[in-house]
Amino acid sequence: MNRVKYRISWFIVVQEITSSNTVVRTFFLLNQRVNDLVDISQLKGFRFEFSLSVEIMKLDFSGLESSAPLYGGSNELLSDGFSAAPSFDLPVTSDFDGFQKNSIQMVKPAKGTTTLAFIFKEGVMVAADSRASMGGYISSQSVKKIIEINPYMLGTMAGGAADCQFWHRNLGIKCRLHELANKRRISVTGASKLLANILYSYRGMGLSVGTMIAGWDEKGPGLYYVDSEGGRLKGTKFSVGSGSPYAYGVLDSGYKYDLTVDEAAELARRAIYHATFRDGASGGVASVYHVGPNGWTKLSGDDVGELHYSYYPVEPAIVEQEMTEAVVA
Amino acid sequence: MSIFEYNGSALVAMVGKNCFAIASDRRLGVQLQTIATDFQRIFKIHDKLFVGLSGLGSDAQTLYQRLVFRHKLYQLREERDMKPETFASLVSAMLYEKRFGPYFVQPVIAGLGEDDKPFICTMDSIGAKELAKDFVVAGTASESLYGACESMFKPDMDHEELFETISQALVSSIDRDCLSGWGGHVYIVTPTEVTERILKGRMD
């Protein structure tokens, strides 16, 4: 009886057929080939012992995933071990790429706003404007863009209002659950990570969130920037929104770590005011909050229209020539 | 954003009793960024004729220069000022000349015609005249302006009341528009005097 040891390497072959933006993948499953060989060999009366070294080419398909589903409904080969993508009918259009891009652009709300936050000696200063705009139309001048997650943590809103409001409230719930489960407050690091992970899992689905999580925990003041692309950054100074370049200009030139609370509040207010002056999509009321060791407090909410005239009062024009009635002699 | 919303503008003209008022905002922007807060949109053709040009700033300035040229030639030939009705026809013809490559402007023409009867009219970018007896509006804030003017307008107002009305209509409309604002410019024209006033508005 021959005992033959075979070293067989099987590759999983992937075939990609691309035809008009659809991708079909065919896998040759390992098991079937091996079973075939075994069946045939038994018929012939030999005993084979294989040791298989399977080199599987790990191909990373995450880049190919698009928000549009795979063409066609079910495919038995693919459903084994792969989660079925949610599917709907593809639109009948001559330019599918352009259609998809345009429809995403249509739903994507522009981040027309100015929010900023910075860490300084006395804690975190958070400020925002209060305008909501839809294209060119101002839909509201009194939107609350600083969201109170819990008494010692604040979140700012930029992007889709519904998205920000919902997910911040959801984050507040998760933070409270953490407190109850662990008998201690959640850290700013932990809270921002919770939010970032949620937003990452919805990546590509059209959420628009550009938020800053500011708080005071056991390690002191904390500030994180989290966005709907899944990014999460720790930092000491951030500004988010269409008015952020203007706010950064003022913030960067006036920032010092050793500011007092009043000086920092004035810096934040000034930065928001300058952003509302230059940016068409920012305006309304400049609200300033301070997060200290005992939690947050709202410092001021000044109407930006009035702030302008307090910073730059109108001087009466110098009258050079004045017409008066001629005196009749 | 369309080309008409590139610079942002708001214009309104109203008729009163033997007088008219024409008002504009003062912002010049590049989409959302504000570049200037003292941009001139209303131009004087002669003492009793004003034209406001909303839309693309560059086309507004160029068209104004062309109109001034044509009016000066007219003055030399006819030895008198143009009547507002004639001027409106001139603007309409000049805009239609560029039918297939238009000026991206919407003019608002306001003047005192024969017997000092006020005349206002507006046009689209290729010269379709719209004569109105009460008010005309143009610009990115035009929808808000229509609403404000419709509710605030009364016929036969004198020039003081007309100034209040047009200022209120302008300011409340541009407060609802991201692309126009940053102050207002109002001209009140009666048979004897022209008053130019600058409004203090929200600078956001």
pLDDT of residue A106: 56
Higher-confidence residue: A300 or A101?
A300
Q: Read off the pLDDT of each residue in A183-208 and give the average, rounded to a whole number.
A: 92
Residue A6, pLDDT > 90, answer: no
Average pLDDT over residues A129-156: 90
Q: Which of A47-56, A270-279, B162-171 has the lowest average pLDDT?
A: A47-56
pLDDT confidence of residue A248:
95
Tell me how crowded residue A271 is: count the other CB atoms within 10 A of its CB: 30
Provide mean pLDDT across the span B63-74: 96
Helix (H) or strand (E) holding A309: helix A304-311
Averaged pLDDT, B46-69: 96
Q: Give the pLDDT of residue A213.
A: 95
pLDDT per position as a tens digit, B115-146? 999 999 999 999 999 999 999 999 999 999 99
Half-sphere exposure of B94 (CA within 13 A, CB side): 23
Residue A32 has pLDDT above 60, yes or no: no
Minimum Cα–Cα distance from A314: chain B residue: B200
Residues of B in contact with A137 (CB under 8 A): 176-178
For the record, the structure tokens of B199 come out as: 């409004």
CA distance A237 to chain B (A): 23
pLDDT of residue A1: 45
Three-state SS for chain B is: CCHHHCCCCEEEEEECCCCEEEEEECCEEECCEEEECCCCCEEEEECCEEEEEEECHHHHHHHHHHHHHHHHHHHHHHCCCCCHHHHHHHHHHHHHHCCCCCCCEEEEEEEECHHHCEEEEEECCCCCEEEECCEEEEECCHHHHHHHHHHHCCCCCCHHHHHHHHHHHHHHHHCCECCCCCCEEEEEECCCCEEEEEECCCCC
Kindly state the percentage of chain A with pLDDT values over 70: 68
**Which of B144, B174, B178 is the mutation pick for testing A, counting most A CBs within 10 A?**
B178
What pLDDT score does A58 carry?
Answer: 61
Cβ neighbours around A190 below 10 Å, total: 16
pLDDT of residue A104: 59
CB A170 within 8 A of CB A198: yes
Lookup: tokens for A149: 């997650």
| Residue-wise DSSP of A168-195 | HHHHHHHHHHHHHHHSSPPPHHHHHHHH
Tell me, what's the ipTM? 0.83
Of the pLDDT bands very low, low, confident and very high (cuts 50, 70, 90), residue A319 is confident
Starting at the edge strand found earlier in the chain, the sheet holding A220-227 runs: A146-150, A153-156, A210-217, A220-227, A232-234
Q: Which residues of B are less than 8 Å from A242 in CB distance?
A: 32
Interface test with B, best of A138, A269, A302, A324 (most B CBs within 10 A): A138
Least confident of A100-109, A231-240, A318-327: A100-109
**pLDDT of A117 higher than 90:** yes
Nearest CB partner across the interface for A136, out of B33, B34, B177: B177
Partners of residue A133 in chain B, C-beta under 8 Å: 178
pLDDT of residue A320: 73
| Residue A205: predicted pLDDT | 87
Chains A, B: CB contacts under 8 A, how many?
A: 60
Percent of chain B residues topping a pLDDT of 70 = 100
Nearest-5° angle of CA A258, CA A261, CA A266? 100
Res A4: pLDDT: 45
Nearest residue, CB atoms, B204 vs list A112, A242, A304: A304
Query: How do residues B7-25 score in pLDDT, each as one tens digit?
Result: 999 999 999 999 999 999 9
Q: Taking 90 as the threshold, does the pLDDT of residue A94 lie above it?
A: no
pLDDT score of A326: 76
DSSP letters of A54-84? --------TTT--SSPPSSS--HHHHSSSPP
The yes-or-no verdict on residue A23 having pLDDT over 50 is no
Percent of chain A whose predicted confidence (pLDDT) is above 90: 49
CA distance B89 to chain A (A): 32
Give the pair of three-digit tokens for residue A263: 């000086």
B138, two tokens: 């143009």
The backbone torsions φ and ψ at residue A196, rounded to the nearest 5 degrees and listed phi first, read: -60, -40
Answer whether residue A83 shows pLDDT above 90.
no
Arithmetic mean of pLDDT, B187-194: 95
Check A112 against B204: CB less than 8 A apart: no
Query: Minimal Cα distance from B139: which residue of A?
Result: A136
Known catalytic residues of A?
113
Q: DSSP readout, A92-137?
A: --S-HHHHHHHHHHHHS------EEEEEETTEEEEEE---EEETTE
Min Cα–Cα distance to chain B from A95, Å: 22
Residue of A91 and A209 predicted with greater confidence? A209
Assess contact for B117 and B131: CB atoms under 8 A: no
CA A90 to chain centre: 27
pLDDT per position as a tens digit, A38-76: 443 343 333 333 334 444 556 666 666 555 445 444 444
Cα–Cα dist A230/A105, whole Å: 19
DSSP A253-299: HH--TT--HHHHHHHHHHHHHHHHHHBTT--SEEEEEEEETTEEEEE
* Dihedral angle, C-alpha B94, B96, B99, B105, nearest 10 °: 70
pLDDT for residue A25 is more than 60: no
- Which pLDDT score, from 0 to 100, does residue A293 have? 93
| Burial (0-12, 13-18, 19+ Cβ within 10 Å), A165 | middle
Distance (Å) from the C-alpha of residue A96 to the closest C-alpha of chain B? 22
